[in-house]
Amino acid sequence: MTEKKPYYITTPIYYPNSNLHIGNTYTSVIADVLKRYKNLLGYDTFLTTGTDEHGQKIMKSAQDAGVAPQDFVDKIASETIELWKKLEIDYDRFIRSTEHQHEEDVKKIFKKLYDQGDIYKGEYKGYYCTPCETFWTEAQLEDGKCPDCGRDVDYQEEETYFFRLSKYTDKLKELFKDHPEFL
């Protein structure tokens, strides 16, 4: 008996500051179709999906709804799981970023990356659009507003952690050169 080759699939982790929209469903259906197709080809597939339950938009949406942020995302996550059941989305793991196990996994990965010099502390400066969750430079703004959604932006400076991608530049170039099918 031959061992099945693994094939991992993931959707974006959806941001539950409101009900899901057609784009969320579209990507989940595509991931489900891909999983089923790879299963037919004999792969050992694993599909993850889930929700990213942190951020300013969620806090604001919860405040507007008059509920605690965790209660707000609990409702949307359970509705998402029910929708995937109705659509027969065959995922293997639904991950919520507020789950204890997820938080522990992130801490472990962060520490490993930090200890090997892949993560460093720096400062982010720019004009921030909360609905888009995007920083912009002054030159990118259109009439002082977000170029994507046209809403107001706020100038912010924040200390944050960055991934040292430059450490892997040569390895990535070699990977892309030797395996153009990778992308």
* pLDDT, tens digit, 9 for 90 and up, residues 4-53: 999 999 999 998 988 888 989 999 999 999 999 999 999 999 999 999 99
pLDDT (tens digit per residue) in 81-103: 999 999 999 999 999 999 999 99
* 136, 126 contact by CB (below 8 A): yes
Instruction: Give yes or no for residue 2 having a pLDDT over 80.
Output: no
Which residues does 175 contact at the CB level (< 8 Å), separation at least 6? 182
pLDDT (tens digit per residue) in 103-112: 999 999 999 9
pLDDT (tens digit per residue) in 130-158: 888 888 999 999 999 999 999 999 999 98
Instruction: Give yes or no for residue 1 having a pLDDT over 70.
Output: no
Q: How many whole angstroms separate alpha carbon 19 and alpha carbon 58?
A: 12
pLDDT of amino acid 56: 84
Model confidence band, residue 113 (pLDDT cutoffs 50, 70, 90)? very high
Which residues does 44 contact at the CB level (< 8 Å), separation at least 6? 4, 5, 6, 7
Q: How many whole angstroms separate alpha carbon 123 and alpha carbon 148?
A: 23
Closest to 91 in 3D by CA, of 155, 3, 14, 5: 14
Q: How many whole angstroms separate alpha carbon 119 and alpha carbon 107?
A: 13
Longest dimension (CA), the chain: 65
What DSSP letter does each residue of 132-161 carry, written as one string?
TTEEE-GGG-BTTB-TTT--B-EEEEEEEE
Integer CA distances (angstroms), 49 to 16, 89, 148, 151, in order: 13, 10, 26, 30
Helices (H), the chain: 22-40, 56-65, 69-86, 100-115, 169-178
What integer is the mean pLDDT of 111-116?
97
pLDDT of amino acid 133: 84
Local structure of residue 159 (DSSP, 8 states): E
Label residues 97-125 b or e (16+ Cβ within 10 Å = b). beeeebeeeeeeeeeeeeeeeebeeeeee
